[in-house]
Amino acid sequence: MSHLNDIREALDVVDEEAADVYKKTLGGAGKHIVAVVLILLTLTGIFFAGKTAINYLSAHGYIGSTADKGIEEIKWQNENFPKFDKLYEEGNYDELVNELILNEENWEHSRYNWEHYDFISIYSNYLSIRDIYIPLIENGEIIDYMDGLVYDSFYLYYSEWTNPNWYGNELTEEEKEFLADKRQYAVDKIIYEYMHFTDEDMQRFLDEGEVYEESNVLKYEECKKIAKKYKKNFG
């Protein structure tokens, strides 16, 4: 119980909004927790149920460091998500890539909970091609980066975010239209002109099950194999 008091004290020192969200989250789960505890009391007796209930609460993050981290995470989101929203509204997608994808300090946080994270993640694949891979190709220095080139260009070609079974959040129509233009740039410059793959080739990779897992996730290891097998034809 002492740690529950610590949690209450922690809620007092974080910003009020974060504390309110956390309390609501805890309160929303309260009925479920009480039901579990009552069942344990009925089936196993007061003493054993008490110990088991404490273990249950700890395992689900209501007691211990997980709960503390949850409070800090809510605080981080409340501080940063409005900044991300502002950049998004301004159309400053490049800066969002810097913040969400490239900034290592943010990797430990739940960046993917921001509603447009998937859109920015896809856009980052296009930026990799435009700003990294194409200059490397033009300078004759791409040989050590073929794996990433194949992965990013294949990811854009297959545009898995348009698949009904896609694992990510639904994109807005404006986002889909924006990405369609970036996809075409990557497909024309890399898939067709540099790799010399045709649409029939790309369909064959799909039909033979070379590039996608059953979970509809592009397989990096298979992209590496394709890079190794076909790179002599690139250029």
The tens digit of pLDDT for each residue in 147-205 reads 999 999 999 999 888 876 677 778 999 999 999 999 999 999 999 999 999 999 999 99
With bands split at pLDDT 50, 70 and 90, how would you rate the model's confidence at 65?
low
Specify the pTM: 0.70
pLDDT at 67: 65
Domain spans in the chain, listed from the N-terminal domain onward: 2-111, 117-233
| Residue 164 vs residues 122, 125, 171, 216: alpha-carbon distances, Å | 16, 21, 11, 10
Q: Is residue 187 within 8 Å of residue 181, measured between CB atoms? A: no
Question: Is residue 231's pLDDT more than 80?
Answer: yes
Q: Mean pLDDT across the chain, nearest whole number?
A: 78
Q: Between 22 and 197, name the one with better pLDDT.
A: 197
Question: Is residue 23's pLDDT more than 70?
Answer: no
What are the phi and psi torsion angles at 212 (to 5°)?
Answer: -125, 140
Question: Is residue 8's pLDDT more than 80?
Answer: no
- Give the integer Cα–Cα distance in Å for 121 and 113: 12
What average pLDDT does the segment 76-84 reach? 95
With bands split at pLDDT 50, 70 and 90, how would you rate the model's confidence at 66?
low
Q: Is residue 100 within 8 Å of residue 83, measured between CB atoms? A: no
